[in-house]
Amino acid sequence: MRTPTFNQLTILKTVAEEGSIVRAADRLHLTPPTLSIQLAKLADHLGAPLYEVVNRRIELTGAGRDAVAAAQAIAQELGLLEQRLAARAGIERGRLQVATVSTGESILPSLMGVFQDEHPGLQIRLKIVPRDQLLGRIDRGDDDIYLMTRPPRREGLLIEPMGINPLVMIAHPNHPWVHDATHSLGDLASERFVSRELGSGTRFWIGEWLAERGIEFQPALELGSNEAIKQAVMGNHGIAMISMHAITAELNTGQLALLKLPDVPMPSWWYAVRPLARQATPATEAYLAFLKTQWPRLDETLLDVLRPLGFPTEHLSKTQAP
């Protein structure tokens, strides 16, 4: 076997990500014939076919997947080398790639902005994706840190609790339950329930939590984002259970109200997930340290809203996280 070039491996990785030579060529600012020639040379160097076309989409062979894994490992090592050399020179430079679930859109961009101001030399990317896509990114090792509320429990991952994520019941301010705390969770069967779509981590937590209390979760309206849920509830289309991080502004302006029900707020927590096989860069370590100092302030902001309203909060402590 002849030694392939890193450029050839990168081309294959890009083709695999795009599923198309044409799209990969556009992304790499090359022509499709140039990519095809490089892929043919790479296959010749490795002595094995690297992909096949299935339903007009490129699918990697076993050899192709091995080559892409090698490309990812080389890219990670080069990134680490860049940051180590920068650290030796006393220059803060490097890259940080963070990915989070859609609920993170309520808090992560502002936190990232503060961190960027403190570390202007870093190139920082934040990806906000549905949970199933985030799990795929974890499997591939695409990012330095993953922030989520329901991390996969499997070997090879370092999982640390960061802070609380109370799930509260919200309604239109004119809803009759707003000033009536006598209702039980069983009464939810008579209400229109607005929920996230199947596959959402929040949807899973709520369904499991209600099932433990003998309540079947049957949403009347399923939506693809927290923003859509808020708009539906503000439009008086039903009630919903949602992360409190997502609704603090609407509570302050009186556009939404909290309902008092047994066992609500439902406890949930934020976790930082990191692949053990991916060595932490100086940027990764700095960001984790930043989160550990900033998140307790976010927790207190939420608790300061719940406590005066008489909601129980003792069960929401980060120390209660499983």
- pLDDT, residue 147, reads 96
In CATH terms, are 92-164+269-312 and 167-258 the same topology?
Answer: yes
**Average pLDDT, integer, range 151-158:** 89
Alpha-carbon separation of residue 289 from 24, 57, 282 (angstroms): 36, 42, 11
User: Domain 167-258 falls in which CATH fold?
Assistant: D-Maltodextrin-Binding Protein; domain 2 (3.40.190)
- pLDDT, residue 134, reads 92
Fill in the amino acid letter for 310. Answer: G
Quick check: 91 pLDDT over 60? no
d(C-alpha 232, C-alpha 46), whole Å = 55
Which CATH code, of 3.40.50.10490, 3.90.1150.10, 3.40.190.10, 3.40.30.10, is assigned to 92-164+269-312?
Answer: 3.40.190.10
- pLDDT, residue 205, reads 80
265 upstream amide cis, omega within 30 of 0: yes
- pLDDT, residue 93, reads 65
User: pLDDT > 70: what percent of the chain?
Assistant: 96
What class is the 6-70 domain? Answer: mainly alpha
Residue 259 pLDDT grade (very low, low, confident, very high; cuts 50, 70, 90): very high
CA 317 to the chain's CA centroid: 22
Q: Which residues contact 188 (CB under 8 A, 6 or more apart)?
A: 210, 215, 239, 261
What DSSP state is assigned to residue 19? T
d(C-alpha 115, C-alpha 167), whole Å = 26
Strand partners, 221: 194
- Residue spans of the domains in the chain: they are 6-70, 92-164+269-312, 167-258
Quick check: 229 pLDDT over 50? yes
Q: Exposed, middle or buried: residue 58 (CB in 10 Å: 0-12, 13-18, 19+)?
A: buried
Residue 1 pLDDT grade (very low, low, confident, very high; cuts 50, 70, 90): low
Residue pLDDT, tens place only, 29-70: 889 888 888 888 888 888 889 888 888 788 899 888 989 888
Neighbours of 216 (CB within 10 A): 9
Residue 236 pLDDT grade (very low, low, confident, very high; cuts 50, 70, 90): very high
